[in-house]
Structure 1
Amino acid sequence: MRKNGGGSPDAVQYMISHFLQPNTPIVTFYMRGQKGDTWKSLGSLPAGSLAGKPLYVLTGGRSASAAEEFIGHVNGFKLGELVGENTAGAGYRNEFFPVAGGYVISVSVGRAVLASTGKDWEKVGIAPTIKASQDNALEVAQVNALRKLAAKAAGPDKTMLEGSAQVLEAQLTPVSTALPLPQYVGVYGVRHITNDDGALIFQREGGPKGKLVAVGPNEFAFAEDPMQRVKFKVAGNNATELELIRGDGSRVVAARNP
């Protein structure tokens, strides 16, 4: 946590100022019983304001101290989404004092209270607005952002954003396929489907390889090009036909080679 003082603004004050009106009270520091020292957002920003822009902050058990202060401002002022897990709950400023025997003791000497909530975050931390494991928090935030952008878009932009969100979400939560993946493996005209470490790979003869992600029972999207899809026709326990749907809407159909 930051020290109390009236010198140059620190990183947290600088960052959060980009999302608030100038001179907005943000936090008060209480140090060893002294009168509180209130910090405000900066009066001017040479780089301009980001107020109203979408904001996603990844959180977890290793988000502590000054990081939690920033997270607390985002949460308290409703500036954006917190994605991940509960923060550490390390809100007090501690100092070390020597004791006999060559030891030191850590003692809390300062408390920060957020202007937006009137509370600190010691021991309790700050809860996410979108729960996700720390390992997947970035991707969950990206899916949420893509879907919000898609809701406001139209035409090709909307389709592209929705497709990108669908593929990313399918990578987080795999979609069940109609057949086991090995049953799709084969040669379809000049296009090869192989199974590499539990993922289908598409390759035209002599061309680059592309990883496929299941987005439906018999439909796959290219991980690096969500607008390009592969649909399989199945009969019994085998795929019999492949349809390649390109991003421009053109289609190629190829039967599975004997």
Structure 2
Amino acid sequence: MRTLELSANGAIPVLGLGTWRMGEAPASRKAEVAAVRAAIAMGYRLIDTAEMYGEGGAEEVVGQSIAEALRTGDVKREELFVVSKVYPHNASREGTPAACARSLARLGLDRIDLYLLHWRGEHPLAETCEAMRLLVADGRIGHWGVSNFDTDDMEELAVVCGDALDCAANQVYYAVNERGPEVSLLPWQRERGMPLMAYSPIDQGALARDAALKKMAQRLGVTAAQLALAWVVAQPGVVAIPKAVREAHLRDNLAAAALRLSAEDLAEIDRLHPPPRRKKPLAMI
């Protein structure tokens, strides 16, 4: 799996597994654990979750899956890159480490590889930044970052955290039909070597039904969803974290990461889903 360098050192795979909406229903627990286990067995090494997902339930699903995979020797802990997120209302100087401790307990881990502020909230960014840096220093997280931050938010973060901005990544909604970050946010991050993590890169499955993409994908021998996903990971400095539970979808997504689109393919997609001409508010799901 191709990786991207993190601004604060280390690397992150360009494709991972999202877990939004997991952990919400006890009846789905077995299938969700099986899905994450299957993903690890297939070669997924990046897993994204959050304390918000299922109010900790998704972290428990991920934790059980990782524990089983480690126990059976499917993977080594150092081969995995686990991402989680802190609720904005927990992201104070004292609340951040407390929330991190709860997430670590649910995940059954002694370190989260990348810990993100899920979105901006009531607590000053300076407090969150300080708390995150202390967690890195303590070894409880490997890197810290943010989510749902637009360019002005990132510029403010750079000011309050100081010139040596060690924010490792920013996770936002980005897909072939939602290209808003390309106007200013993505260039801003690229200049600083900071990966953009694209959530809902297939627009929660909607792009699988995109008629124009389906026609193009058929010619290339792939599905529309694979084409949409391949387009995302083809963008410099971008990581994609689609959610999938069915084994077929997991395999299709993994194969999409290896799909190489030509310059002509990319130009055709630009015609089907043109890039934005001006900046607009950052989209959120």
Structure 1 and Structure 2 fold alike (TM over 0.5): no
Q: Give the number of the structure whose residues are more often helix, by fraction.
A: 2
TM-score, normalising length: structure 1:
0.23
Structure having greater relative contact order (Cα 8 Å, sep ≥ 6): 2
TM-score, normalising length: structure 2:
0.21
Q: Which has the larger radius of gyration?
A: 1
Q: Give the number of the structure whose residues are more often strand, by fraction.
A: 1
